Amino acid sequence: MPSQPIAMLSCSSHEIIRGQGLTTPTIIKKYFGSAALAAVLLVCIQPAAAWNATGHKATAKLAYELLTPEQQEHASRILTAHPRYKEDFRDAMPDDIASGSIADQALWEFERASIWPDIVGGLDDDNKAKFHRFSWHFINMPIYLEESDEQELAGKLDHNMSTEFSPPLRQNLNVIQALKGNLLLWTDDDASDAEKAVALCWILHLVGDMHQPLHNVALFSRAYFPKGARGGNSINVQWEDGTTNLHSVWDNLPNDFEDLVPGELTRDILAVDNVAIGSINFWARRHLQMAKTHVYTDDVKAQLIAGLSAQEFPEIVLSDYYLSNATLIAKSQVILAGHRIAVLVGRQ
């Protein structure tokens, strides 16, 4: 076994080892084993992951840097009218940012806005009732564990899968409806700056959420998941010496946020990307297909079918190829989300 410590290997799991065509996870697993691979990924994903708070803020930063100075100034001015601007923005600002430049403060507040929809889940009951919207973060478009499940359940699922929005914004909307509603509010000349500030927070967050495939789908099984697998939260995954869930794996995929340069395939998408409120349905359909192909793979389904028949809560194992591929997808999706946010927010 090589004496090189694992920590010296790159955390960029999509990195290709020159001349060998092998990704970093393949090298780690080859020389150190599957347990070491899981350990390295776990270490890597904590500070810089695609869809946790760090990922949302990185997506927002990319979008902010793509805005014109005039658009940046407009967004910053609107945020100062946020109904919880003092409590959730100014009072939460780190000292080094608060004592720094106006530009640094504006960027920090824009990034903070992208995670505010998650922050409100921890507020007191009164403010939580005013601002927290659990269902806005996802839609449960169906994927079926087996063909027989689709035959039995299709058309009978008790979930809000509508892609149409009609005012007002309210509880129990799904992510597609909520994003459309907040975009309409953002461009509404009759809306107050306070309303627009809250809408901006949701736009930043929901575009990011939509680009995480598992925020778009739920796995259904007549026998095991008749109400859906909760975006992968009900799927146990072996992880290092313990257990996590499939949604958490995807939320915490490693990402190098200092290198959000589009690859060739991402550039091709951006070149023809038509970003508008009418594009949201297309994004959702694309992410449904992405989840079918890259999240609930044939191997994942086979492990679930075999495990569920033997025990109530089986654990699946994700291969190093699965994780490498997922990481590549995550980087592309973060970049797409950032570019799309910039276009949407730039329309005032």
Secondary structure of the chain in HEC code, one letter for each residue: CCCCCHHHCCCCCCCEECCCCEEHHHHHHHHHCHHHHHHHHHHHHCCCECCCHHHHHHHHHHHHHHCCHHHHHHHHHHHCCCCCHHHHHHCCCCHHHHCCCHHHHHHHHHHHHHHHHHHHHHCCHHHHHHHCCHHHHCCCEEEECCHHHHHHHCCCCCCCCCCCCCCCCCCCCCHHHHHHHHHHHHCCCCCCHHHHHHHHHHHHHHHHHHCCHHHCEEEEECCCECCCCHHHCCCEEEECCEEEEHHHHHHCCECCCCCCCCCHHHHHHHHCCCCCHHHHHHHHHHHHHHHHHHHCCHHHHHHHHHHHCCCCCCEECCCHHHHHHHHHHHHHHHHHHHHHHHHHHHCC
User: CA angle, corner 38, sides to 289 and 29, nearest 5?
Assistant: 95
Q: Residue type for 46, please?
A: Q
- What pLDDT was estimated at residue 309? 87
The CATH number of 50-346 is 1.10.575.10
Q: Which residues of the chain have pLDDT under 70?
A: 1-49, 257
Q: Are 200 and 186 in contact (CB under 8 A)?
A: yes
The DSSP code for 315 is: E
- What pLDDT was estimated at residue 173? 99
CA distance 229 to 297: 15
Q: Residue type for 319, please?
A: S
Domain ranges of the chain: 1-45, 50-346
Q: How far is CA 287 from CA 14, 18, 59, 204, 252, in A?
A: 21, 32, 18, 18, 18
**In sequence order, which residues have a C-beta less than 8 Å from that of residue 133 and are 6 or more positions away?**
117, 171, 173, 178, 202
Report which of 333, 116, 316 is spatially closest to residue 224, judged by C-alpha positions.
Answer: 316
The DSSP code for 167 is: S
CA distance 328 to 253: 9
- What pLDDT was estimated at residue 49? 65
CA distance 89 to 87: 6
CA distance 346 to 348: 6
User: CA angle, corner 101, sides to 98 and 104, nearest 5?
Assistant: 80
- What pLDDT was estimated at residue 119? 98
CA distance 146 to 221: 7
- What pLDDT was estimated at residue 20? 31
- Report how far Cα 152 is from the mean position of its chain's Cα atoms: 30
- What pLDDT was estimated at residue 11? 34
- What pLDDT was estimated at residue 45? 37
125 token code pair: 């009951």
- What pLDDT was estimated at residue 48? 60
Residue 295: helix, strand or coil by DSSP?
helix
Element (H, E) at 142: strand 141-144
- What pLDDT was estimated at residue 268? 83
